Amino acid sequence: MSRIAYVNGRYVPFHSAKVHIEDRGYQFADAVYEVCEVRAGRLVDARRHLDRLDRSLGALHMPMPMSRAALGVVLHEVVRRNRVDHGTVYLQISRGVARRDLAFPTAAAPSVVVTARALNRDRIAALAATGISAVSVPDNRWGRVDIKTVGLLPNVLARQAAIDRGAREAWFVDHGGAVTEAASANAWIVTEQGRLVTRRADHAILGGITRAVVFEVAKAQKLDVDERPFTLEEAYAAREAFITSASQIVVPVVRIDGRTVGDGKPGPLAVALRREFHRFAEEE
């Protein structure tokens, strides 16, 4: 079955979907995006994702291109037309098409693109069952990564650095030696005392939707969570480590910079958080 994309009011074949060469998302990364999990054909945590979309658009002084209800219809329709049972739906909104100039255009209409794709559930489950490796890289991103923009070149380079070093994920480390987050996920550790630790959702990290749900799971399981910076040395010495994201949920990290975390196997807390996640996520 051929894939279908939504582009500025039209559902079109994926292979022929196009945006203008002077779209500001293409030329300036003047755009925001969201990625929402699809499970059994239904969107997971769509309300939370649209709330974050509102915040990102507001931070860039960019208008919402349509009502939330209408946008929800588009997201569902793209999922339906692509027959995605388990996967993700991707939404991108740019400031629109205008003559190339750094200043905001006065009359451009936002550009909207939505795509959906299936993910191999068994492959992701296998990664979670064995755990992944991560490497540390300097955090050289701009100071507002809490805004979910498409300006992801540092993330691209970090992920490639991980692959080049035989790992799957990269963990950014700031100038003070503290871990901020992963290239495409939030980063967590479990201390020897059994406390979950993840950085506070400030300007230095993206406030992950999956991260927020994991807080609810942890609370229900009466687990202690500390929102604070943690160093690489703490991560090396941790009992467990893991990442959270919409496409992967919870995936244990069993090696960091070639050093074994814990006993080198997925830890019980990460496994439990992954198992219970969808009991607390909002499924439509």
Average pLDDT score over residue span 41-69:
97
Angstrom distance (rounded) from CA 153 to CA 131: 26
Angstrom distance (rounded) from CA 150 to CA 162: 20
Ordered by where they begin, the domains of the chain are 4-119 (3.30.470.10), 124-280 (3.20.10.10)
Q: Is the pLDDT of residue 2 over 90?
A: no
Determine the pLDDT at residue 152. 98
Determine the pLDDT at residue 100. 97
Whether residue 93 contacts residue 31, with contact meaning beta carbons closer than 8 Å, is answered with yes
- pLDDT-derived band at 116, boundaries 50, 70, 90: very high
Torsion, CA 133, CA 136, CA 139, CA 145, rounded to 10: 20
What are the pLDDT digits (tens) for 249-275?
Answer: 999 999 999 999 999 999 999 999 999
Average pLDDT score over residue span 107-122:
95
**DSSP labels for the chain?**
---EEEETTEEEEGGG----TTBHHHHH--EEEEEEEEETTEEBSHHHHHHHHHHHHHHTT---SS-HHHHHHHHHHHHHHTT-SEEEEEEEEES-B-SS-SSPPSSPPPEEEEEEEE--HHHHHHHHHH-EEEEEEE----S-TTS-BS--HHHHHHHHHHHHTT-SEEEEE-TTSEEEEESSSEEEEE-TTS-EEE--SSTTS---HHHHHHHHHHHHTT--EEES-EEHHHHHT-SEEEEEETTTEEEEEEEETTEEPTTSS--HHHHHHHHHHHHHS-B-
Determine the pLDDT at residue 1. 58
Determine the pLDDT at residue 36. 98
What are the pLDDT digits (tens) for 187-224?
Answer: 999 999 999 999 999 999 999 999 999 999 999 999 99
Determine the pLDDT at residue 239. 98
Angstrom distance (rounded) from CA 198 to CA 171: 12
Percent above pLDDT 90 for the chain? 98
Q: Look at residues 102, 88, 96, 98 and name the one whose alpha carbon lies nearest to residue 65.
A: 96
148 is a catalytic site residue: yes
Angstrom distance (rounded) from CA 266 to CA 241: 8
Determine the pLDDT at residue 199. 98
- pLDDT-derived band at 134, boundaries 50, 70, 90: very high
Pairing of the two strands 169-173 and 225-227 = unpaired
Determine the pLDDT at residue 283. 85
- pLDDT-derived band at 142, boundaries 50, 70, 90: very high
Identify the active-site residue in 148, 219, 222, 265.
148
What are the pLDDT digits (tens) for 229-247?
Answer: 999 999 999 999 999 999 9
The mean pLDDT value of the chain amounts to: 97
What are the pLDDT digits (tens) for 168-187?
Answer: 999 999 999 999 999 999 99
Q: Tell the residue number behind the tokens 């380079």, with chain if given.
A: 157
Average pLDDT score over residue span 55-84:
97
Average pLDDT score over residue span 40-48:
97
